[in-house]
Chains A and B, each alone.
Chain A
Amino acid sequence: MANIVKSTDGSELVTSSGERLSGKELGTAVVTTDAFANPGLPPHRQRVTDTNPRRLARAARIVAWLFYLSIAGSLFTIFAYMFFPIEDGDTTSLRLSTLYIGLGSAFALLAIGVAAVHWGKAVMADKEGVDERHPVRGTPATRERAIEIFKEADEESGFSRRTVIRNGMIGAFIAFPLPAIALFRGLAPMEVDPNNELKHTFWKEGLRLTRDPTGVPIKASDMTIGSSVHVIPEGLAELPEHEKLDAKAKAAVLLVRLKPEDLNWTSDKRKSWSYDGIVAYSKICTHVGCPVALYEQQTHHLLCPCHQSQFDISNECAVIFGPAARPLPQLPIAVDAEGYLVALSDFEEPVGPSFWEREK
């Protein structure tokens, strides 16, 4: 292994036999004159179809047959399309139609594929070839001419010389796409301030809590201990479809009833937002906004199925596991004269994922 002495920066290599390898290009690579020599291509090995004419004839027959079978497959597909219609509302007919059209065309395609590959591998002449490679860079003459062309062009245009023109052009090129950026401001409505939108929901004082999606109002007496109900504000179900989804994306609430003594409160104010063990929390995860829809009755935990954040209802929906950073916002609720649950106000903080200006 000591046949090679490597110079300091890899710029030159000296072998023990005293031969110098010019190695500016080598870097860390070690090249030794004591290496084995490439033995050259191994002798060509004949295929069975080269030596046995019957096998060759058989391979050729298979290839031909496969192409004809492929035609049959394509025709079968068209027949399947015609004779296996989808009957209205009948999933079996859909399944059969899909299956036969699919199987027919898959067969037609695979037959072509197998035939072509088999043709190439077993029947076509098995002649390996060798191509020479040339360096990717252009020949010295080409490169010289390229440089010359640029020089001539520079000379003739005065690109380097006429700096005022050149700088003006560069400036113009930088400036001209800018209006396009301005145009894209139109992607969102002009008059709406995202900050404001994200901080308010459909809830307001006096709105009844209603069931999602029917919109039937909920009485406090409907809520047994341990029950949970998906809630939307009164009036939301009547909105036109799109406003409905936008409003629901922020206003969805989960209503649960626990034994009042199971609920721990940090302040009397927060306690006053509940009614006899009934609490309402935003269903929109404070992580990235999935609906926190899984309620575990025994532990009073809420689980977000998207990223497994867990919130503890007994402790004001504090985060007990997962990537979420903030508790779910609580909707202040009370009971109206007829015994229905109503909101006391909108949420006191923005619901859903955090955003930059949230605290502003």
Chain B
Amino acid sequence: MTVTATPPSGGVTGKVSNYLDERTSISGAVKEFGRKIFPDHWSFLLGEVALYSFVIILLSGSFLTFFYQASMASVEYEGSYIPLKGVEMSVAMASTLDISFDLRGGLLLRQIHHWAALLFIAAIGLHMLRIFFTGAFRKPRELNWSIGFVLFLLAMAEGFTGYSLPDDLLSGNGLRIIDGMILGLPVVGTWISFLLFGGEFPGSDIVGRLYTLHILLLPLILLALIVLHLMFVIIHKHTQYPGPGRTENNVVGYPVLPVYAAKAGGFFFLVFGVVVLIAATVTINPIWSYGPYDPSPVSAGTQPDWYIGFADGALRLMPPGLETYWFGYTWSWNIIIPVLVLLVFLALVFAYPFIEAWVTGDKREHHLLDRPRNAPVRTAIGAAGVMFYAVLWAGAASDIIATHFRVTMEGVINTLQILLILGPIFAFMITKRVCLGLQKKDREITLHGFETGRIVRLPGGEFTEVHQQLNDYDRWQLVSYNDNAPIMVRPNERGKITGSMRRRAAWSRFFFEDRIAPVTKTEHKEALEHANH
């Protein structure tokens, strides 16, 4: 093979680039991705926050592993935090205290790690909401939604395993609750609990096991899936909001090099900086004030980290007395029902893109996002889901709500129980109406223009306000959306109407029956003629 090598030019940079390219073919990647266009919108930053928090977690977590010891062997605390001097505790707890009190910057790093973890899960949640409400999960991105959903679960698992590592009183109680839930599962519960804890709760294995999960298995899977998630973003190219000049066949935005790299790269430092600032000034998880784990004491107002709240709330909102004895076995419905409710809720979140794709039967690729108002039923379903989650979440704070607002605990819980059922229904109805109202308003503005506030008196004496038509660009914003209509059931080629056709038609009615179609050119022309009448 003969290769005419161009002598590298441009001094050191040129030489280094040439060296690398001749060994890695990197120029191809630069050519392919260097000027790739990324669209811009603040809501696209939510996913970036999640990614950057993960990097911060990896960095701060690696530091912590050098000092933390995941052992439940018992020691007498001899560190410099005086109130706990001489107290028996696990090595895990003692080493966490040492990180906090005897290692310069240790407390800061612990707090960076914890705050970044909280931010990580919050950012994932908000990112998912953005994806949901703008319909970014539609073809071809359904699988990436699934990956993102798994990432969300993994992030929560990471959070919980990490939370348990200091082996303090609060996290020990958290584990106790998990153990109680596992024990309540039919058939396998007792054994799963035993295998997990290496015998009876609390045993002396769980911290070490959670540590392996926390720093090896879960991060590995998380990292692999994040890479996959981002690869799909490259393959699909990023979605964009609708607007003049933006189509399903293009991406409008800024090139990776240099603008996007500067902005996204700078944004990493902004996120990192904010997390460090919070960690330097706001205490999180002060395990020293809880003390080491002991199965006997617990204080009022115990709370899990916020992201576990919805699961804890589901437990709290169960009415009393739900346990039966069938065939000589114990069926703990007060555990089984909340677990099922949570699983069904999560399964619906996971499956939504596939459900909607089935209902619409739309097989086209969608790269232009929906404005939430232009998909009223989807937006309403999302609001119902948010409401459901929010009520469960409030359930986890029932005691705090009761003490802070000086109302009865029973009253708070009973109210939340009712809200858990009715809240999502109301949220659905109200949101759908609001969306339809906004769409109607959009139609009106498109057809009749916007009010200028200028009142003129006509020759006949009549007063009227001058309306001004939108310009082409603003109008496009209001008329260019995906419009769907319900399917009518008609027999297929073999003259039959199948059950699945009927179901799909019914669902399509549910989704698209109350439909506000975008203004057409003819309608607009007629409205103009009418106005000039």
Contact = CB atoms under 8 A, between A and B. Distances in A.
A25 B357 CA distance: 11
Given A1-B523, A110-B270, A283-B296, A81 B105 contact: yes
A140 B200 CA distance: 60
A38 B202 contact: no
B518 A245 contact: no
Interface string A214-248: 00000000000000001010000000111001101
Given A38-B245, A39-B244, A242-B204, A129 B253 contact: yes
Nearest to B485: A30
B8 interface: no
B461 interface: no
Contacts of A39: 244-245, 472-473, 476
A191 B396 CA distance: 39
Nearest to A325: B323
A227 to B, nearest CB: 17
Contact of A116 (B173, B266, B315): B266
What bracket does the count of chain B residues touching chain A fall in? 35 or more
A60 interface: no
A101 B330 contact: no
B508 interface: yes
Interface residues of A, number: 119
B298 A1 contact: no
A352 B180 contact: yes
B201 A249 contact: yes
B503 interface: no
A117 B263 contact: yes
B105 A249 contact: no
> Binding site of A, secondary structure by majority: helix, strand, loop or mixed?
loop
A42 B273 CA distance: 36
Contacts of B299: 305
Contacts of A194: 190-191, 193-194, 200
Contacts of B279: 102
B189 interface: yes
A256 B195 CA distance: 36
B248 interface: yes
Interface string B398-418: 110000000001100100000
Contacts of B102: 86
Interface in A103-129: 103, 105-121, 124-129
B211 to A, nearest CB: 15
Nearest to A319: B320
A99 interface: yes
10 contacts: A27-B361, A36-B519, A109-B272, A119-B262, A240-B74, A242-B203, A289-B177, A289-B180, A322-B413, A356-B185
Given A114-B266, A121-B263, A288-B181, 4 more contacts: A27-B487, A36-B475, A112-B269, A323-B322
Interface of B: 35-37, 72, 74, 80-82, 88, 101-102, 104-105, 107-108, 111, 140, 173, 176-177, 179-181, 183-191, 193-205, 209, 235-237, 244-255, 258-263, 265-274, 276-277, 279-281, 293-302, 312, 315-323, 325, 328-330, 332-335, 359-365, 367, 398-399, 409-410, 413, 472-473, 475-476, 479-480, 482-488, 490, 492, 508, 511-512, 517-524
Name the 3 nearest CB pairs between A and B, nearest first: A102-B280, A288-B180, A116-B266
